[in-house]
Homo-oligomer: A and B are copies of this chain.
């Protein structure tokens, strides 16, 4: 694996220590899949960047998102075109700032890119447990990919010490929201069910693509609703998705002293070939 960093247009692996992303998590990011150096579902990533910048009250969210994504994509293409797959992270922070919570009125945002060649291979259906830490309740920021990701770090740390392949994370009411790094879907017949993200969670690009386009193209419907642990046994199939791995099935979920088992991977196999976009 090769790896490169890029900060505000220059290939460098150093960032100013007064960056507000570093000081206060004042910013957002995207993790994106590249195939032969070309961004998959770039429009969905740009949309979410724009929404994040808007909710954080950056000036000109549309312009900044577009400018950052174009610049980092063209840098990545120059390095990754010869690699079949790579991943590209773009962070947009509020730039440098003085001490204290209030952003500087004049500092430009900072763009940080991290390009890593190679992508994980397709993995067997995962055996999942449930994370000890729950998502915080915050409707005003739910759905965004903020730099503030403490809960997922703690869940990923627990996962790495557990015997599971994945952990599900619940919200403060106990409803299942996500895995440590992906959105969840469950299937009953031709109906997909995905957790409601009103109060917590990241609204993933692949989740959105399935909801808005791909489920219908594969003759399934999607319902967005609360999924509580006691409902896990009611489904025939379960999988999670994110921009890097695409789709991975769940073999089972252990919660409390119960276990839900899924024998089908039918929907996952139907959706997987197109999960990174139909047009490339």
Q: Is A102 an interface residue (CB 8 A)?
A: yes
Query: B13, B16, B101, B133: which contacts A181 (Cβ < 8 A)?
Result: B101
Residues on the B chain within 8 Å of A114, using CB:
17-18, 99
Q: In the complex the two chains form, is A149's CB within 8 Å of B13's CB?
A: no
Assuming the contacts A14-B15, A101-B155, asked whether A149 and B148 have C-beta atoms less than 8 A apart, the reply is yes
Q: In the complex the two chains form, is B157's CB within 8 Å of A25's CB?
A: no
Q: In the complex the two chains form, is A141's CB within 8 Å of B137's CB?
A: no
CA distance A100 to B156 in the complex (A): 9
Q: Is A252 an interface residue (CB 8 A)?
A: no
CA distance A20 to B149 in the complex (A): 10
Binary interface encoding of chain A residues 1-33 relative to chain B, with 1 for a CB under 8 A from any of its CBs, else 0: 000010100001111111111111110010100
The number of residues on chain A lying at the interface, defined by a beta carbon within 8 Å of a beta carbon of chain B, is 59
Residues on the B chain within 8 Å of A149, using CB:
24-26, 101, 148
Q: In the complex the two chains form, is B13's CB within 8 Å of A7's CB?
A: no
Q: In the complex the two chains form, is A157's CB within 8 Å of B5's CB?
A: no
Residues on the B chain within 8 Å of A56, using CB:
150, 153-154
Q: Which of A13, A94, A159, A181 has the most CB of B within 10 A?
A: A13
Q: Which of A29, A134, A137, A155 has the most CB of B within 10 A?
A: A137
Q: Is A87 an interface residue (CB 8 A)?
A: yes
Each complex incorporates copies of this chain amounting to: 2
CA distance A7 to B17 in the complex (A): 8
Q: Which of A17, A138, A147, A172 has the most CB of B within 10 A?
A: A17
CA distance A57 to B148 in the complex (A): 17
Assuming the contacts A136-B138, A181-B101, asked whether A15 and B22 have C-beta atoms less than 8 A apart, the reply is yes
Assuming the contacts A17-B15, A149-B148, asked whether A181 and B22 have C-beta atoms less than 8 A apart, the reply is no
Residues on the B chain within 8 Å of A155, using CB:
101
Q: In the complex the two chains form, is A141's CB within 8 Å of B150's CB?
A: yes
Q: Other CB < 8 Å A-B pairs besides A57-B154, A138-B172, A146-B148, 10 of them?
A: A15-B16, A15-B17, A18-B114, A19-B22, A21-B22, A25-B149, A99-B114, A102-B159, A133-B140, A134-B138
Interface residues in chain A, defined as those with a beta carbon under 8 Å from any beta carbon in chain B: 5, 7, 12-26, 29, 31, 56-57, 87, 89, 91, 93-94, 99-103, 105, 112, 114, 116, 133-134, 136-138, 140-141, 146-157, 159-160, 172, 180-181
Across chains A and B, which 6 residue pairs bring their CB atoms closest together, nearest first?
A: A148-B148, A101-B156, A25-B25, A136-B138, A136-B136, A137-B137
